[in-house]
Structure 1
Amino acid sequence: ADDYVVKPFSMKELLARVDAVLRRTCERTAPSDSRAVPGGTVDFKDRFIAFGDGRREDLSERECDLLRYLLDSQGRIVSREEILRNLWGLDPDRTETRTIDMHIMHLRTKLGDKDQSLLATVRGKGYC
């Protein structure tokens, strides 16, 4: 939580607080445009993975967002529900989909992660 408004409040007060939060948000440092992964580097701006051997794999926007989210979690187990809510903007209680699994599979293929050492599935919990 960054701020709160006590009831009753005016719309003018609420909008002023929202504007203040947005101003502070813009001052934060932008996330890095590239990140090292085993065997190469991910370029989030241009959405590709460059490997040390010169090979290059393009990433879709969703794959790029998912990979950044998982890297930012720093080894924490991330559930499908969390990914659906935070990246796809969907309510996991009202959505039945395997799209997360498919995106993970595509990322593993592009990363050359056949043994799931980079993107691990934690059965019944999510991905790490």
Structure 2
Amino acid sequence: MDGDPGPLVDPGPLLRPFALRAGRPPEPASPRPSGRAPAGPLTAVRAADPADAGTEPYPEPAAVLRACARPRRVLDLAADLGLPLGVVRHLVRDLTREGRLVECPPPAADDRAVLERLREGLRAL
């Protein structure tokens, strides 16, 4: 043995989810949506100004803004960015409050094309 400690172990991310949320605990689920509730996982958002990501000093909000150049669901953002869903929900809520993200309306339930795709998907099961 020459004193080699062996392979280095990856300590994991340097910033924990608690730090990325600025120390705020997760908010309890509410039956009614409000301005305080984090965005739902299926909520679609887009950047109000895609160039805004270049002015963001923190990497996580900048990554969210870059990824939202086109409408994206919160769940997809979390998966693509490799961040916990709870963290992404809080980041999206904060960026929406600041007017940097805009919530996209869901497709109308009576939209025939959506209903046809749903029916075909159910048939495929």
TM-score by length of 1: 0.35
Higher relative contact order (CA 8 A, sep 6+): 2
